[in-house]
């Protein structure tokens, strides 16, 4: 029931980091994987990265905030590969700026990529899923779908909105045998977070690293591989009666109040 043989998956921003790990996981479970990037150089790097894993993929350049471009992307995948069974709305950005210093333009950009784009992409694939009689949409949410933190007002607003978009897609299209769920990663060790995990000159942990470890019952950062199993589950028939759910993969942070000082 976890097999994805015969399924076609589109992963937005699937050339690196979390999107790439999920793409590899879905491919190894049997899916044919397509991904998009914002430019040709990223597309080529992504294809090469998948090739190094022994995976043939279909890479495309498309701006997920542009509805016309997304419609053309989905149509091209349909012509070249087939109708999309699985959509992973992974593409995202964050701008860490104090709210009172953040411009409306920066706030809007985060909302456009992290919330409007998943709406556009989901809207584009749902008709094909209805035609096939089934579909899986996985939105990459965040702990910031539940919690706030300094400097991430736009990101938290977008991810909170994405949580509710997930539930509404479930509500509106569950009767068409479409399951829409979210994955909420905790703090994941990636190249982007590497500076926050570097040892200090005296050998101690970076202060933010210390903070995260102290708040995580698992006692570590997550890895991109930690997200593969949840993604395969939500993409497969194993989750056919799971809908509108956010699966937090956070090492227990959201369950934990923290140690007494």
Catalytic residue list: 155
Nearest-angstrom CA–CA distance, 87 and 201: 44
How far, in Å, CA of 235 to CA of 227, rounded?
12
Helix (H, G, I), strand (E, B) or coil at 6: coil
**Residue 172 and residue 194: Cα distance in Å, rounded?**
40
Widest Cα–Cα separation across the chain? 60
* Exposure letters 211-237 (e unless 16+ CB within 10 A, then b): ebbebbeeeebbebebbbebbbbbbbe
Q: Are 77 and 10 in contact (CB under 8 A)?
A: yes
Is the Cα torsion angle 167, 172, 175, 176 positive or negative in sign? negative
Q: What are phi and psi of 101, to 5 degrees?
A: -100, -10
DSSP code per residue over 213-235: HHH-TTSS-B-GGGGHHHHHHHH
Rounded Cα distance, 219 and 125, in Å = 39
What 8-state DSSP symbol labels residue 188? Answer: B
């Amino acid at each position: 029931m976890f097999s994805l043989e015969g399924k076609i998956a589109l992963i937005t921003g699937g050339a690196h980091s979390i999107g790439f790990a999920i793409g590899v996981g879905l491919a190894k479970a049997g899916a044919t994987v397509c991904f998009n990037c914002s430019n040709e150089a990223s597309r080529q790097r992504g294809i090469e990265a998948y090739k190094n894993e022994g995976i043939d993929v279909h890479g495309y350049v498309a701006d997920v905030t542009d509805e016309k471009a997304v419609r053309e992307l989905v149509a091209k995948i349909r012509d070249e590969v087939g109708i999309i069974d699985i959509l992973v709305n992974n593409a995202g950005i964050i701008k860490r700026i104090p709210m009172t210093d953040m411009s409306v333009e920066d706030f809007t950009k985060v909302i456009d990529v992290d919330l409007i784009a998943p709406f556009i992409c989901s809207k584009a694939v749902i008709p094909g899923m209805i035609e096939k009689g089934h579909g899986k949409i996985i939105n990459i949410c965040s702990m910031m779908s539940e919690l706030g933190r300094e400097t991430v007002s736009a990101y938290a607003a977008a991810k909170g909105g994405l949580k509710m978009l997930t539930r509404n897609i479930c509500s509106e299209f569950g009767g068409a045998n479409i399951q829409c769920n979210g994955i909420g990663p905790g703090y994941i060790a990636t190249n982007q977070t590497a500076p926050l995990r570097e040892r200090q000159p005296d050998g101690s942990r970076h202060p933010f690293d210390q903070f995260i470890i102290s708040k995580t019952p698992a006692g570590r950062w997550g890895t991109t591989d930690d997200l593969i199993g949840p993604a395969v589950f939500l993409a497969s028939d194993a989750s056919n009666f799971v809908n509108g759910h956010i699966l937090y993969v956070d090492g227990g942070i959201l369950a934990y109040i923290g140690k007494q000082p």
